[in-house]
Amino acid sequence: QLQASGGGLVQAGGSLRLACVPSTRTISDYDMAWFRQAPGKERQFLAASRRGGRGTYHADSVRGRFTISRDGAKNTLYLQMNSLEPEDTAVYYCAATTKGLITSSIRILGAYDFWGQGTLVTVSS
């Protein structure tokens, strides 16, 4: 349902932009989010974008460095990541739901029905 791309190897201080494209519907049908999972750790919420311009949300841990956005014309969700640190090394996942999310649920994994396959980001020191 979701195809994520854009991961790779980058040096500390560098930038990457991740992309996520739904395969069967348009992004206007979804509330969407980015999560990541580092080895041996739980999947962590990073940012969310609610459809129809209802707002974006960023985890405190990445606010100011990561920015979520969506481009309807390209049917793509993005995560711009700047000032990357070795601690950002993880598999990054996009997620989506057709249900309208309330603010209190946007950080919850179970609130999302569809997940991408993940894209690996490795930040070297």
* pLDDT means over runs of 10, the chain (125 residues): 96 98 94 97 97 93 96 97 98 96 92 96 97
Strands 119-124 and 8-11: parallel
What pLDDT does 48 receive? Answer: 97
Is residue 72 within 8 A of residue 15, CB to CB? The reply is no
What pLDDT does 37 receive? Answer: 98
Give the long-range contacts of residues 51-54, CB within 8 A, separation 24 or more.
51/27, 51/100, 52/28
